[in-house]
């Protein structure tokens, strides 16, 4: 499902799923930790292994007892 890598003359390019732009491998810094991931140079989409794992989880639809119900 997530086929990002495209082979071009012995180089591998990561393509963005959102805009099909080129992605670069970069280091990201958070308040308590840092991580490595892919960032699109066009739209700014960030992908790492945790994001990909979370996207594989099934989505749960909200039930009838949500905040948006009318009183």
Question: What are the extents of the domains in the chain?
Answer: 5-56
How confident is the model at residue 6, as a pLDDT? 47
Q: What is the CB-side half-sphere exposure of residue 59 using CA atoms within 13 A?
A: 3
DSSP assigned state of 19: T
How confident is the model at residue 62, as a pLDDT? 74
pLDDT tens across 2-42, in order? 445 544 444 677 899 899 999 999 999 988 989 899 999 99
């Amino acid at each position: 499902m997530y086929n990002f890598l495209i082979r071009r003359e012995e180089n591998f390019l990561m393509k963005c799923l959102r805009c099909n732009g080129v992605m670069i491998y970069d280091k990201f810094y958070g308040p308590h930790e840092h991580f490595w991931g892919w960032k699109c140079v066009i739209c700014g989409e960030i992908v790492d292994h945790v994001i990909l794992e979370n996207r594989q989880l099934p989505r749960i639809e909200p039930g009838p007892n949500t905040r948006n119900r009318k009183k």
